[in-house]
Each structure stands twice: as structure tokens, then as C-alpha cells.
Amino acid sequence: MDSNLLKVFLAVANTKSISLGAKELNFTQSNVTLRIKQLEKSLGYELFHRTNRGVILTQEGEKLYPFAIDIVKKVEEATLKMQNINYHELLKIGSTQSNATIRLADFIKKLNHDYKDMKLEFVVDSSLNLIDKLLEYKLDIAFVNGDPKHKDLKVLNIIKEDIVLVQAKDKTPENKIFAYKNGCLNRIFLEKYLLEKNKNKYKKVNLENYEVILACVEAGYGVALFSRQIIEKFGYLHRLKVTNMDFELDTHLVCRKDFPLIIENYLKKLTLS
């Protein structure tokens, strides 16, 4: 069974659309239609019901779907292992915004010095989204907040974080929680903490710029949870009311258990702060 045809099948199944699947794969719509027909012919079954709103998996398509995911992942894993048989030609790295802000540049410098021929790709996202990408083989490693404790992941390195609650010094803050984006564990932990403490509900505000978040907090528009290093980096340590928290939100460098990294021992021994 051609894994390339299965990739096309998965793209169409996931987007529920021939045109959107083609866009995701950067193929023409006619090319995707042809490949789906080839797969259907080789299997002897129709895999999609065509409707005015897109496509829906047939019963046979639903049966094929989990096998297609497994086959495509295995082929990609084998390809990557053969490509990186001596060293990682390409390392796909995920990072939270907080980790990217305070230590990713130093991490890049160390990798560039020790593995000059290795290419790097980066994704900055929330911890929960990064874990999903790691489980989907879209990343090799990821810096996430907290230990994910997932059966398919293992921790390579842990960086201690001094987590603090920040709010305006001389103003009563509004009931708003500022965070980087949805899936940010800092906000999830803070929301739970504040709900238990004062039973108030807080509006969630996403801002993908830490300096803007800190300015909003200083102005009394809400509260936020940060690593102390970020507060110091942007010069707000003495401009805000800072409260130490006992949250276990250390940064964990994680990878998949079933996809061992050739530089795994290097990453385990690497000193990060």
C-alpha cells in the first residue's frame, strides 16, 4: 500500500474537503482527486461520500483511517531514522513563548557550536499544543511547562522556574488573566488558583507579546503568571507587585519514547538556565 496515497487520504479525511486537503499538501485539487481514486481502486472500496459541503468517510474509510495513521507514522519514522543514522540532519524543536524568551537563543548557540552541520526548525506554541505536535511526530523535542506525564513521552532535561504572580502595585486589578494564548498552562494554573482563593471568575485575554502583557498588568487591567526571569528581562521586577507561587511549572525538555534521538545523551547533560 502506497504511503503517499495514504497521506493524501488522511489530509482529505482530516479536513473533510478535497480542496482543503489539496491546500494542506500543496497539491492541485485534480491531483488529490486522482490519488484518492487510485487508492480506492487499489482497495476496491469507495472511501468518501461526496456531498455539497465536502466529503465524509464511508464505513470502509473509517476502518482504513487508524491503519493509515499508523502506516504513515511508521514510514515517516523509518525515513527520519535512516536520514539521521549518523547524526540529526534536521532537528525540529518546539518551545513555549516563555522558554523562547529567556533561553532559546542560548540553546541555539550551543547546538550550532557542537553540531555545526545540523539544521534546526522551530515552533513556538503553548505547552498543550506542543505536546500534541510531538505526539503527532511533527516535532523531535519540545520545551514545555510542567511534566506532561504521558506514556509516550520521556523527559530529557528539567529547568527550574521561579513562578510568580504579578499585579499592579497601587491599584486593584481587574478580573482578567493575561496569557500568551489558549493552552498556556500558566493561565490554567492561575485560573484554578484564583477560583479557589476568591471564587471570582476571570476573563481570559490572549496577548502574544510579554512586554504588552506586563504593561497591562502594571496599569491594573489584570493579573498574570510568569517566570521571574521574564519579569527581570523586561525590567518590571520592581514596578509590579510580585508574589511567589508554589506551582510546579518547571520547564521540561521532552521527546517521544519510541523515537530515540542520537543526541539524547547530549541533551540530558546540557546545562540550561
SS3 251: strand
Mean pLDDT of the chain: 91
- pLDDT at residue 246 greater than cutoff 90: no
Instruction: Assign domain 90-159+251-269 to its CATH architecture.
Output: 3-Layer(aba) Sandwich (3.40)
Cα(115)–Cα(122) distance, integer angstroms: 16
What value does the CA radius of gyration of the chain take, rounded to a whole number of Å? Answer: 23
Angle at 159 between CA 156 and CA 162, to 5 degrees: 155
Architecture of domain 3-75: Orthogonal Bundle (1.10)
Task: Give the whole-angstrom CA distance, residue 268 versus residue 129.
Answer: 23
d(CA 134, CA 249): 19
pLDDT band, residue 81 (cuts 50/70/90): low
pLDDT tens string 143-199:
999 899 999 999 999 999 999 999 999 999 999 999 988 878 888 899 888 988 887
The CA-based diameter of the chain, rounded to the nearest angstrom, is: 72
Which grid cell is 111?
A: 547546538
Is residue 136 scored above 80 in pLDDT?
Answer: yes
**Choices 3.40.190.10, 3.30.56.10, 3.30.465.10, 1.10.150.20: CATH for 163-244:** 3.40.190.10
The pLDDT, as a whole number, for residue 30 is 93
Mean pLDDT on 196-209: 88
What's the whole-number mean pLDDT along residues 118-139?
92
Q: Do residues 97 and 262 touch, judged by C-beta distance below 8 A?
A: no
- With contact defined as beta carbons under 8 Å apart, do 205 and 177 qualify? yes
Note the pLDDT of residue 76.
82
- Residue 200: which pLDDT band, with cuts at 50, 70 and 90? confident
- Listed in order, the ranges of the chain carrying CATH 3.40.190.10 are 90-159+251-269, 163-244
pLDDT above 80 for 88:
no
Share of the chain above pLDDT 70, in %: 97
Considering only CA atoms, which of 41, 51, 47 is closest in space to residue 68?
Answer: 47
